Amino acid sequence: MQSLEEIYRQHVHRVYNIALNHLRNVEDAEEVVQDVFLAVHEKGMQFEGKSSLGTWIYRIAVNRSLDKLKLRGAQKRGWGVLQYFDVFTQWVPQQDTEFNHPGVALEYKEELKQWFGWIDCLPEKQRTALILVRMEGLEISEAAQILGTTEKAVESLLGRARKNLVKFSQKSEGK
């Protein structure tokens, strides 16, 4: 049986990049990495071996990243309401929505900021399929296992994501 350190060394790179591409924030992505390997340590006994260990870990990474995104959205909405009241604005912390992706070179920063903005508008599954297949370079079959769906469904998700991105780009060009 592998030790946690071995599992960590084997999978951390992909877990971190999955989280980073979902969240575009170093601190949040590192938090997700910590949460994922804490869960691996705690729930290691629950791993049934139906899928590969990597698939199981990446599924946790995707779920934790999506949870964090939802939490971020909820916090944004919550603080947004509070900001209507002048009294609270003094102590309301500013949400860190800054685009902070260390994998994006400076010359592409503006272009990719816009592109990631479109990705944020995609439905959850389309976004995750795109990140797993096109950004992480996973096989469609592996992405299907992570998403808990079929290969055909992943291909369809990617097709719809492509159409939506084209639509978003046309809209932004039309402005």
Partner 1 sequence: MKKKQDFDPFAPANRVNRVEVSPFVFSRVVSKIESKREEKSYREELGWKGAMLGSGAKSVGWSLNVTWIFAALVVVFLEVMVIRGALQGPSTGDIASAELMGDFLNQTEQLYDHEN
CB 76 within 8 A of CB 82: no
In contact, 133 and 140? CB cutoff 8 Å: yes
Q: Which is nearer to partner 1, 79 or 113 (CB)?
A: 113
Nearest-5° angle of CA 162, CA 168, CA 172? 145
**Whole-number Å distance between alpha carbons of 8 and 169:** 38
Q: Which is nearer to partner 1, 61 or 146 (CB)?
A: 61
Smallest separation (angstroms) from partner 1 to the CB of 21: 7
Is residue 143 within 8 Å of residue 154, measured between CB atoms?
Answer: yes
> Least distance (Å) from partner 1 to the CB of residue 87?
37
For residue 50, the minimal CB distance to partner 1 (Å) is 25
Angle (nearest 5°) at CA 80 between 76 and 81: 125
Query: Interface with partner 1 by CB under 8 A: which residues?
Result: 4-5, 8, 12-13, 16-17, 20-21, 30, 33-34, 37-38, 41-42, 101-105, 108, 111-112, 115, 118, 130, 134-135, 161-162, 165-166, 169-170, 173
Closer to partner 1 at the Cβ: 33 or 60? 33
Give whichever of 80 and 123 is closer to partner 1, judged by the CB atom: 123
* Rounded distance between C-alpha atoms, residue 115 and residue 165, angstroms: 8
